[in-house]
Amino acid sequence: MGGASRNEKKRRQEAANQRLAAAGIRPPEKSSASRMPLIVVAVVLAVVVVVGLTVLISRSSGDVVPTYTASASGAVVTAGSGPVAIDVYEDYLCPACERFEQRYGDEITTALNDGQLTVRYHSIAILDERTDPPGYSTRAANAALCSVPAGVYPTYHKKLFDSQPAEGSAGLTDDELVAFGTELGAQGDFAECVRGGASAPAIAAETEAAVSDPALQTDGNFGTPTVAIDGTKIDLSNTSWLQDAIAGQ
């Protein structure tokens, strides 16, 4: 807007005000009171952003370096050697499992590192149909089982969740699964093991056993992630479930 038209507008406004004044009407003043609602809205939204980001930052986990060891039997990986044992059922494609790892991964790793906890990770593949082509859950679980003899399971398991592909996608390729292991220092014939898929039958059997175990179901359905202690599913909506378990409650 040029200066001329601004002056023109101002002049017209003044003329209009004069006419109103002549008629005995006082135009409402653009006082601070009329801006009050806008200020309230701005303050409320600013508080939302600050509080939301603060909660987000406080909740995001740092990176605890795993120092525990793991061994595999069939499709179950036993991590750590602490006195308290928990069973964790995860599918590498399951978004809720990714959330579970994001939320509790550091806490679990710390407890494993400190020798307070033993975790039996059950390799579950219930979402094989949710990639195109199907089968990522099984391929990822197989790769994770390969990472145990390769000596990198603790970091590889975390890496698979940190890099979780979206449901409906093709999933990570075998080459990518191999590359992650190589990056993390996998020993031996890791690449052949990943491409061979030899653990698929064991994963299918483990999945079948978990799905049909009534003790792991809620309302007749099995889902991942599921955590069980002494064969009984625990309620993960209790956010202090791990401290309670370690405290023996």
- The residues that touch other proteins, with contacts defined as CB under 8 A, are 26, 28, 33-34, 36-38, 40-41, 44-45, 47-49, 51-53, 55-56, 60, 95-96, 99-100, 103, 130, 166-168
Nearer to other proteins, 95 or 185 (CB): 95
Asked if residues 234 and 228 have their Cβ atoms less than 8 Å apart, the reply is yes
Residue 228, SS3 per DSSP: strand
Among left, alpha and beta (phi > 0; psi -120 to 50; other), residue 87 is beta
Q: CB neighbours (10 Å) of residue 106?
A: 17
Q: CB neighbours (10 Å) of residue 243?
A: 12
Nearer to other proteins, 4 or 56 (CB): 56
Residue 93, SS3 per DSSP: coil
Name residues whose C-beta falls within 8 Å of residue 232's C-beta, 6 or more positions apart in sequence.
215
* Per-residue tokens: 199: 């653990």
Nearer to other proteins, 13 or 60 (CB): 60
Nearer to other proteins, 52 or 115 (CB): 52
Nearer to other proteins, 31 or 249 (CB): 31
Asked if residues 171 and 131 have their Cβ atoms less than 8 Å apart, the reply is yes
State the number of CA atoms in the 13 A half-sphere of 153 facing the CB.
23
Q: How far is the CB of 146 from other proteins (least distance, A)?
A: 26
* Per-residue tokens: 238: 């209790």
Q: How far is the CB of 122 from other proteins (least distance, A)?
A: 21
Q: How far is the CB of 187 from other proteins (least distance, A)?
A: 30
Could you tell me which of 94, 99, 96, 91 has the C-alpha nearest to residue 204? 91
Q: How far is the CB of 225 from other proteins (least distance, A)?
A: 10
Asked if residues 228 and 119 have their Cβ atoms less than 8 Å apart, the reply is no
Q: How far is the CB of 94 from other proteins (least distance, A)?
A: 9
Q: How far is the CB of 48 from other proteins (least distance, A)?
A: 4
Nearer to other proteins, 4 or 49 (CB): 49
